[in-house]
Structure 1
Amino acid sequence: MANLQRDSKQISHQKSTRAKKPLSLNSLLKKPNYEEKVETVFEDFWTQERVEAIQQLCIEENLKVEAVNQMIADYKFSGKEPLKETVLSACNEKPKLLERKKIFARVVSKLLDIINKFDDALGELGQEE
């Protein structure tokens, strides 16, 4: 019985000493691969946010996801905005003649916003070190 009480006192003493030692950010950063894990988690998160933004654009403007992804890839490769015919062919329904100019301008603007936010701005984060 005395041994049991002594063991429980030692365990509670060990718990209390552990609880008093606060974890610092520096101690966490010194762990191996911690920064790599943060980068991996952030990249996964950012990719998911990018996919959701593209899907939202497609829903709002009634566009084909594959065509939007192709326009983004073409823009990243050439640096040129998509042609009017390319944007209008990405529509699930052919827009009326009077609405085409507005739709084109709106889609290109949103497309460039997505590229700037998720692709171009991400490069700036890696260069701040």
Structure 2
Amino acid sequence: MYELKTKENDRDVVEFIESVESPKKREDAYKLLDIFTETTGYSAKMWGPSIIGFGSYHYRYDSGHEGDAPIVGFSPRKAKISLYFATSEETRTELSSRFGKHTTGKACVYVNKLADIDEDVLKEWITVTVNHITATYPNGVS
């Protein structure tokens, strides 16, 4: 049976941010920590070795696969900062058009630095994701 590798753990968020090599990425990580905390109202928790997540929810797919995940989060990776959102495709497209310089993956939005994006749109994307996850998994959010 598949076991999810990215689980919430007790690792210290600030200690993790301090371990980020790039001073600029470290500075952006602290700004993101403030933005995500203020916007969500959730405390930051480490998920796996490198994702800072906010809130959590339990999901179960029609296939039977289930697990826990952060509602939103980010990771100051070496190459780019990964932002984790979950919205409808239509909402994702609309927010992307106003977000600033970024690229997207299946479940992530990648930015080089915070100065490249619109922080108001970031806050909106965080809020939309929290609302989307809460509506989609009403009994599984904590």
Settle same-fold status: TM greater than 0.5. Answer: no
TM-score in terms of structure 1 length = 0.28
Q: Which has the higher helix share?
A: 1
TM-score by length of 2: 0.26
Rg larger for = 1
Q: Which has the higher strand share?
A: 2
Tell me: higher relative CO, structure 1 or 2? Use CA pairs within 8 A at least 6 residues apart.
2
